Amino acid sequence: MKLICEKDKILKALNSVTKAVAIRTTMPILEGILIQTNDNDIKLTCYDQEVGIEYIINDCEIEEQGATVVNAIMFSEIIRKLPEKEIKIAINDKNLLVIECEGSLYKLATMNPEDFPELPEINIENSIELEQNALKDMIRKTIFAVSNEENRPIFTGCLFETKSNKLNVVAVDGFRLAWKSKVLTTQTNDFTAVIPGRTLIEVNKIILDSFDIIKVGIAKNQALFEIENCKIVTRLLDGEFLNYSKVIPEKWETRIRVNTNIIADCFERVSLISSSSIEKEKKYPVKVSVEVGKITISCTNQIGDAKEELYVTTEGKNLEVGFNPKYFLDALKNISDEEVFIDFGTSISPCIIRSVEEEGDYRYMILPIRLKND
């Protein structure tokens, strides 16, 4: 194998594929990157047996065809630090990968490309197409609510559901739920699939904030994301996802309308007392009190006390309820609209945060924490 390619082309590919390098494994081949040539193209692949990413670099100068595997992290770090010039890559007679760029020369040990596991073949059963910026927005507004608890693996992913030509993305961790919806412009069949949160985090890093199209294909136990020269393959999670439409309250007893950034700042300040680093083992709820035209957010513990009063538009009954402030902050920080509705039921029922401008597009549900005097 012998090739010449611009650094920026290789680096762009590496920034995508290395997100699928195995971190902790007993198989060194999974720590590698598979480099293959085909005519004037270079294909880079990383695969940790859960997520696989393939990227094709077009229009390179290929002097000799071939394939090899080298340590992905070492290879990418060397490429990253080389000058912004053409890079020559070749396999020498000792089976070492030789990297040359101006006065720089590096040689890396290689592994047998035949030992590198093949990405799974995916027989697409259902698929959707949407703009990359739309999918990026849907992931951003839900991924923070994915569970980190491996004892409930189904909740470590996001539900992708198409129904009546609408895509719903839902995340839940047992204490909160995030739901984002978008009408699709092309006709599609109804389906459901739960995609691992870790995969979606990496997909969101790769896709652009653009109107370019991304294709999402769903098979029996795999999903495929296709964008331009890049493919991302991931396993699906098995299990029964929460029937989210049955748990989101449709009615409210108390509603406030408030500026998103202002109430987020209030929760941010009060959370300094709620989650004080002096008492790392304890997490105190904040108390939310709603009266006519006013909301009070407060917390009292052994460290001190905090209180924020905010004049807002209110409807319905007075209320006093406790919440984990982090859950409010996670939701509010991912809402780009100027104002939100916050709908409450009773002191033991969940609250719903939704945009004033696009009330039907996305919702966040947060379960309360029982206050000591409840």
335: which residues sit within 8 A by CB, 6+ positions away?
A: 141, 260, 353, 355
Coil, strand, or helix at residue 335? coil
Domain span at residue 40 reads 2-115
Residues 71 and 181 in one domain: no
Cβ atoms 127, 191 nearer than 8 A: no
- The pLDDT mean for the chain works out to 93
Give the model's pLDDT for residue 280: 47
Cβ atoms 366, 353 nearer than 8 A: yes
Q: Domain count of the chain? A: 3
Residue 137 belongs to a domain: yes
Write the DSSP string, 40-100: TEEEEEEE-SSEEEEEEE-S-EEEE--EEEEEHHHHHHHHHHS-SSEEEEEE-TTSEEEEE
Last residue of a domain, one of 244, 262, 296: 244
Mean pLDDT, residues 58-84:
96
pLDDT at residue 355 greater than cutoff 50: yes
pLDDT at residue 250 greater than cutoff 90: no
Residues 252 and 238 in one domain: no
- In whole angstroms, what is the distance from residue 65 CA to residue 235 CA? 31
CATH code, domain carrying 194: 3.10.150.10
Residue 349 belongs to a domain: yes
Give the model's pLDDT for residue 243: 94
Its sign, for the CA torsion 273, 279, 281, 282, is: negative
pLDDT at residue 281 greater than cutoff 50: no
Give the model's pLDDT for residue 359: 58
Question: Cα 300–304–308 angle (5° rounding)?
Answer: 60
